[in-house]
Amino acid sequence: MSNRGPLAVAFIAGMLMIGDYFLDWGPLNSYAEWVQKYYIIIAAFAIVLGVASLFKLHLGKLKRKEDGWRYSIVTFFGFFAMIVTGLFMTSGDLTGTKHPWNAWLYTNVQLPLGATMFSLLAFFIASAAYRAFRARSLEATLLLLAACLVMLGQVPILTGGVFESLPEIKQWILDIPNMASKRAIMIGVGLGMMSTALKIIFGIERTYLGGSEE
Amino acid sequence: MNIWDKLQSIDRRWIFLVMFIVIIIPLMNPKSLDINVSEPTRKAFERIENVPSGSNVLISWDFDPGSQAELLPTAKAMLHQLFEKNVNIVVITLWPAAPTLADTTLNEISTLYNKQEGVDWVNLGFKPGLDIVVKSMGSDIHEIFPADDKGKRVENIPLMKDIRNYDDFNLVIDLSAGSSVDFYVEQAHGAYGADLVAAATGVMIGDFYPYLEANQLQGLVGALVGAAEYEKLMEKAYGLEPDKATAGMQAQAKAHLAIIIFIVLGNIGFFAKRKKTSPKLESLNK
Amino acid sequence: MIFNFLNLIFQIQIKEGKGPVFLVLVLFICALVFFLDKARKGASFKIRKIAGLDAVNEAIGRATEMGKSILYTTGLETASHIATIASLTILSRVAKRAARYGTRLQVPSFDPIVMTLSQEIVRESYLEEGMIDSFRKDDIFYLTQEQFAYTAAVEGVLIREKPATVFLMGYFYAESLLLAETGNSIGAIQIAGTDAVTQLPFFIVSCDYTLIGEELYAASAYLSEDSSIISSLKAQDFGKALLWIFLFIGSIFTFFGSVKFLSIIGGSS
Amino acid sequence: MIFNLIAPFNTPEGLGIWIAAFLTLCIFSFLYKDNPFYKFAEHLFVGVSTGYYISIYYWNTLKPNLIDELRKGFSALGEGNVQKAFGLDENGSIIAEPHLRMVVPLMLGIFIFLIFISRKNAWLSRISFAWYIGVASGIAIPASMATRVLIQAQGSVRDFCIFNAGCANAAGLDPQTATTSLWINSALLLIGTLCAVAYFFFSLPSKGVLKAMNKVGIYFLMISFGASFGYTVMARISLLIGRFQFLFYDWLGINI
């Protein structure tokens, strides 16, 4: 069995979406709107595969009593707590994430965990700056200087005299050299993306389909 | 390992510890901050100063606890200012998770000024629909918000009796963690001619400066810096004590300074080491 | 019937304001087809050295020597993001090498579809190398779709398994620095690649090699060792050259008052 | 400094704050080193968030867009209204509610499972993946052209247009007086963009003028990376301040 079928599907699906972008034609446009709205359904189905993989991983750990197998129980506990309150319980009209227990778990477990992980960045950004910003070469020096000037321009650390112009310098760095290279990167990314996507719908790039055996 | 090597390889845990300390201390002990108030913040403050006593202001509370570090201080300072000036406040929100935060804050500050819910202020709560909500308030607020956050019918709220649309507000304030400022500029200001002041997070602020230049916004308070500036203005005008934004800004300044000092230390070590070791030796060491 | 059909065709019009995009796209496709044809006829294209690419083999070799594993993440986007697909192509090359050397390859996934695709791709790579018996499907596993839960778990893997080599390829958000700094702290060689402009600085400071923006796409083409895929790089360069000339000449003419160049690309209102 | 109230244990809110504070500290402990508290929080986080996303997918996607549509479709079919059952109006045009048309995504969804059951059916799952990625590519092609390439090019040309009253008026932009500094800035922007684009040429040998441009391009890139880094520091520290405020104000009730 070759990959010809799937490649044809990718081609047709892709061409229809491109057509929708350029052409003003009722049936095509409403088809495209429909597709964009509902293709997430595939992702919703796929999550079952994800959960199966997660279960396999942790059940395996439990069975083999691997290092840290007790933590797998914690994962299952969290998972089922969310599933039971989110899928099977109702409180009046409130279901899913609006169910008070589910919402409570979200606000007091998931939200603070996420926010705290996010806030670790404040520490990591400091250690990364310390380690990486060394004036080893001209390039590294430019990196370092730009970072320090922008940081000094952000907050009032040094004030008075020459330092009063730091915010302006910061703004200039952001508006001119920073903008110039962002534009260039974006242009490159746009072209790279487009050519990769074209290769996919023309069937030149097919690695993503994996093997073609059986 | 000599001192220069050590300067180049400080264990990252020491850096973490220093960051921890320099951020916590100002938070526990905020002092009046010496900062220059920027033009957009001053404009916002002055526009609110010019709201006549007894008139109405609409606040669109478009942020949830996720962005409260940046926006709540501004919100609080503005509420203090408005209550101080005896202005009536109507609060709505376009964000589902915002009403509780708005309610807690309103209750906390209104009691300080003996202001009554329903008479001096009201929280109409959340309505989904973003720009559509903003647009519909141009014709009839009662229709889109038939009841307040607690389910009380608007007909029975004394404050809401004479308020029907944007014409009945002296000013509209959008406290936004997203792009709702766009809708207000387009609809409330563009289509219905309402005066507009906004506060936004650091990520979004850049998008909104053009509105200020085009006079579509009467003032703009940006991120934690803007909030700290606002607290400074409130301190000068009403003797309000500096609060969380000021504390936050001090923590920011100290943390930035700490990072820069670490960068400098690393570079001192790097250069001192390079001078001392001749190139030959260095290659042998490898 | 035929009349109806024709009637239908004539109803179709190009949407307003999409003209410039259409024009440029057609030009680009022409260039792509031209170079593809050249490649099919046996032309080979020289590509300049991309630092991160040469490091790929070296980094895999290092993991093998140390008897440690390789960790590969395809980023925090779904398979509908093109950068993820570019990353999957690179994964297929990395997997081949890993299979040849018998080095363990771990792929923690953020999206279940990407996980399934990764499993298929890695499996295929092992098959091609004749090492299917050492393919471990469970090493390509799903974690969760919540950004920071995924980050927390990958950090856990990094700190406990201590892989010798870490690949961070695809689209990333704020977690980029958390992953890269943790990878750095365990002394792994890190090769990153992303088209997320805002996250590039963090990879640059924390990783040994970083593929910047378009280099990620170029890498996926280059590593394929397939001349028809590499030929697309020529088309990309053609696009850039065209744009380069356009910007250069356009800016000069615009400076002297011509509005033509701005309106060609649809920039005048 | 007064400890005016430590969150009480006996209300759901109070207990929630205690749990959130404990988990916050668990994550912070990772900064020192990996430890059982972090492992606990990490595993809990993975479990909870996976569960959360399942209920989100079910309530926001599967139920309204698939199950309810199919149910409506079947009931229309039961009434004998075939056109409505497939989401068509009397003229055969597509209406917003797809009803039984949802069978297509349903089939594609089911195909995905087949890979799980037997490798023999793997090719069917490939149809789903090909469709999914084909759609994504089709959307990305014109979008990346328009929003990345052309918009950036427009911005670049526009910088020069505002100098010239004639051009600015014709393009509907606000003309600006060309001061020397504005002039230099625009020229620098253009040079920077052109040099940085030149850095991304893959098939041309880096020699002569191109080599020089590549170098300048790299300098611009480095300044940009440094600037973005420095610019982000503030936002990250704000997040940490947010967590500290939670710990001190909400949990410990320390007020100043």
3-state secondary structure of C170: strand
Of chain D, the percentage scoring pLDDT greater than 70 comes to: 95
Q: Which residues of chain A have pLDDT under 50?
A: 1, 213-214
The number of C-alpha atoms within 13 Å of D95 and in the hemisphere containing its C-beta is 15
Residues 3-62 on B with a CB inside 8 Å of D are 13, 16, 19, 23-24, 27-30
User: In this structure, is residue A122 part of a structural domain?
Assistant: no
Length of chain D: 256
Q: Average pLDDT, stretch C17-32? A: 89
Domain count, chain A: 1
Tell me the CA end-to-end span of chain A in Å, nearest whole number.
Answer: 6
CATH class of B39-241: alpha beta
Residue D256 has pLDDT above 60, yes or no: no
Burial zone of D144 (CB within 10 Å; 0-12 exposed, 13-18 middle, 19+ buried): buried
Q: If DSSP codes are grouped into helix, strand and coil, which group holds residue C136? A: coil
Residue C263 lies in a domain: no
Neighbour count for residue A136 (Cβ, 10 Å): 14
In a domain, A211, yes or no: no
Task: Tell me the sheet residues that pair with B61.
Answer: B175
How long is chain B? 286
pLDDT tens-digit readout, B156-190: 999 999 999 999 999 999 999 888 998 999 889 98
Q: Is there a domain that residue A94 lies in?
A: no
Instruction: Identify which of A122, A136, A155 has the shortest CB distance to residue B249.
Output: A155
Q: What is the CATH number of the domain that holds C85?
A: 3.40.50
pLDDT at B280: 40
Q: Residue A71: inside a domain, yes or no?
A: no
Inter-chain touch C243–A48, beta carbons under 8 Å: no
Predicted confidence at residue D174, as pLDDT, reads 73
3 state SS for chain B: CCHHHHHHCCCHHHHHHHHHHHHHHHHHCCCCCCCCCCHHHHHHHHHHHCCCCCCEEEEEEECCHHHHHHHHHHHHHHHHHHHHCCCEEEEEECCCCCHHHHHHHHHHHHHHCCCCECCCEEEEEECCCCHHHHHHCCCCHHHHCCECCCCCEHHHCHHHHHCCCHHHCCEEEEEECCCHHHHHHHHHHHHCCCCEEEEECHHHHHHHHHHHHCCCCCEEEEHHHHHHHHHHHHHHHHCCCCCHHHHHHHHHHHHHHHHHHHHHHHHHHHHHHHHHCCHHHHHHHC
Tokens of A127: 């250690």
Q: What angle do CA A78, A81, A86 make, to 5 degrees?
A: 125
- DSSP state letter for C133: G
pLDDT at D2: 43
Instruction: Tell me if C235 is assigned to some domain.
Output: no
Q: Which residue has the higher pLDDT, D81 or C36?
A: C36
The amino acid occupying position A61 is: K
Residue C115's domain spans which residues?
51-223
> In terms of CA atoms, which chain D residue is nearest residue C249?
D157
Residue at token pair 């959130």: D20
Segment 164-223 of chain C within 8 Å of chain A by CB = 174-175, 177-178, 180-181, 184, 195, 197, 200, 202, 204-206, 212-214, 216-218, 220-221
Q: What is the mean pLDDT of residues C146-169?
A: 96
Does D2 contact B at CB distance below 8 Å?
Answer: no
- For C49, phi then psi, to 5°, come to -65, 135
The Cα–Cα gap between A173 and A170 comes to: 5
* Contact between C35 and C235 (Cβ < 8 Å): yes
Q: Are D193 and C247 in contact (CB under 8 A)?
A: yes
CB–CB of A23 and C236 under 8 A? no
User: In chain D, how many domains are there?
Assistant: 1
Shortest CB distance from C262 goes to which of D48, D171, D232? D171
Q: Is pLDDT at C64 greater than 90 in this prediction? A: yes
| Structural domain range at position A146 | 133-201
pLDDT in tens, D163-186: 777 787 777 777 777 788 888 998
CB of A97 closer than 8 Å to CB of D59: yes
Instruction: Choose the mutation target among A4, A25, A31, A41 for the interface with D, i.e. most D CBs under 10 Å.
Output: A41
- B260 touching D, CB under 8 A? no
pLDDT of residue C32: 94
- Per-residue confidence (pLDDT) for residue B284, from 0 to 100: 34
Residue in A39, A105, A117 nearest the CB of D27: A117
**pLDDT mean over D147-162:** 84
Q: How do the domains of chain B map onto residue ranges?
A: 3-28+249-285, 39-241
Residue D152: inside a domain: no
CB-nearest to A10 from D120, D131, D194 is D131
Average pLDDT over every residue of C131-145: 94
Range of the domain at D75: 11-102
C-alpha C232/C-alpha B167 separation (Å) is 59
- pLDDT of res. B257: 95
pLDDT in tens, A135-191: 999 999 999 999 999 999 888 887 777 888 888 899 899 989 999 999 999 999 999
Report pLDDT for B46: 96
CA D20 to chain A, closest CA, distance in angstroms equals: 5
Query: Can you give the pLDDT at residue B230?
Result: 95
| Distance to chain B for D200, nearest Cα, Å | 28
Report yes or no on A62 lying in a domain: no
The pLDDT of D213-228, averaged and rounded, is 96
Residue A190 lies in a domain: yes
- Domain annotation covers residue A54: no
pLDDT at C86 over 90: yes
Residues B112, B78: contact at Cβ < 8 Å?
no
Q: What percent of chain C has pLDDT over 70?
A: 95
Residue of B nearest to A132 (CA): B263
Residue ranges of chain B whose pLDDT lies below 70: 276-286
Question: Is C210 domain-assigned?
Answer: yes
Instruction: Please name which of C88, C245, D143 lies closest in space to residue A198, comparing C-alpha atoms.
Output: D143
Are A148 and B260 a contacting pair, CB within 8 Å? yes
Residue C3 has pLDDT above 70, yes or no: no
**What 3-state class would DSSP assign to D95?**
coil
Assess if residue A25 is contained within a domain.
Answer: no
- The reply to whether residue C112 touches residue A53, judged by beta carbons under 8 angstroms, is yes
- Number of domains present in the structure of chain C: 1
What's the predicted TM-score (pTM) here?
0.89
pLDDT for B282: 37
Strands D254-255 and D2-3, how do they pair? Answer: antiparallel
Q: Is the CB of residue D67 less than 8 Å from the CB of residue D59?
A: no
Classified as helix, coil or strand, C181 is helix
Residue D113 — pLDDT band, cuts 50, 70, 90? confident
Q: What is the Cα–Cα distance from D121 to B262, expressed in whole angstroms? A: 58
Which tokens is B233 given?
A: 């203005």
What's the pLDDT score for residue B271?
92
Q: Report CB contact under 8 Å: A135, B267.
A: yes
Q: For the segment D57-110, what is each residue's pLDDT rounded down to a tens digit?
A: 898 888 888 899 899 999 999 888 888 888 887 777 777 678 888 888 899 988
pLDDT interval class at D130 (50, 70, 90): very high
Q: Is C72 a member of any domain? A: yes
pLDDT in tens, C230-257: 889 999 999 999 999 999 998 888 888 7
> Is residue C153, in this structure, part of any structural domain at all?
yes
Q: Kindly provide the ipTM of the predicted complex, given to two decimals.
A: 0.92
Residues 6+ apart with CB under 8 A from D63: none
D-contacting chains (≥3 CB pairs under 8 Å)? A, B, C
pLDDT over 90 (residue D28): yes
Task: Give residue B203's pLDDT.
Answer: 75
